[in-house]
Amino acid sequence: MSRTPDTWILTAQSPSRLGTVDVVTRYLFEQGCYVTQHHSFDDREAQRFFIRVEFQVPSDFNEGLFRVGLDLRFTPFDMTFELTPPGYRAKVAIMVSKADHCLNDLLYRQRIGQLPMDVVAVISNHPDLEPLAAWHGIPYHHFPLDPQDKPAQEARVWQVLQETGAELVILARYMQVLSPELCRRLDGWAINIHHSLLPGFKGARPYHQAYAKGVKLVGATAHYINNDLDEGPIIAQGVESVDHAHYAEDLVARGRDIECLTLARAVGYHLERRVFLNAGRTVVL
């Protein structure tokens, strides 16, 4: 769904209580705001309520006073909120290794305005993709990985993230396992992409392993990272049917396409404030 250029986004969550939808929509009405999109979900098992609203504001809108009013109305519901203005573009850092398909796709979607973000850095443990970043005018940071001193390399990565003010980190086929410490620091604001094959083929050349078993589905999963390898809260998944006529190289090609599309979808959801973390899973509105 495309966002109207002049809309604000209000996202909020709280314990499940009577009146949660009303307190949000009534306040917007009283402030003269026109709702253009509204999505909400109440998790009956977690007893948790989530809401996302896009709205247009009147000519005399005052953000500071609006926020004060939200605090006053939402506090009795233990409701936390985030307010995003029109035209906001997040600062994003992308981490890569040698594969270029996801990076190229993300930079293209940024260039045409499909993803509201500004890529402030490309970080890699290999030099291969520096020309692609340079063509887009984006700083490229090559930090080779010394297996005997991984913390030193990750310290340089973290320094770039801090200096650039990155608000989102995208692991666009970054083929290194992050340390528990860096995973902890990036919890909730780093998205990874990897193949999804059934059964799960681990190790080298997973699509070739899948071909040898005659798989009938190939797919990809985009998720927030955590310290459990490829098991963070899932944001988006993609899948496509294949058959006996698809050779190993065909599966690889299909996998690249699905990875690009699934990662772009997950990044878009995050940038548009559609994703809520809900314990070990996500709510996507």
The catalytic site residues sit at 230
Amino acid type, 34 = Y
Going by DSSP bridges, is the β-strand pair 190-196/48-56 parallel, antiparallel, or unpaired? unpaired
Beta carbons of 3 and 272 less than 8 angstroms apart: yes
Pairing of strands 117-124, 140-142: parallel
Q: Among all chains, which residue has been given the structure tokens 């902890």?
A: 184
Beta bridge partners of 213: none
Q: What are phi and psi of 157, to 5 degrees?
A: -60, -50
H or E element: which one contains 258? helix 248-271
Residue 146 to residue 25: CA distance in whole angstroms: 54
Q: Which of 85, 37, 32 is nearest to 60 (CA)?
A: 32
For residue 178, the 8-state DSSP code is P
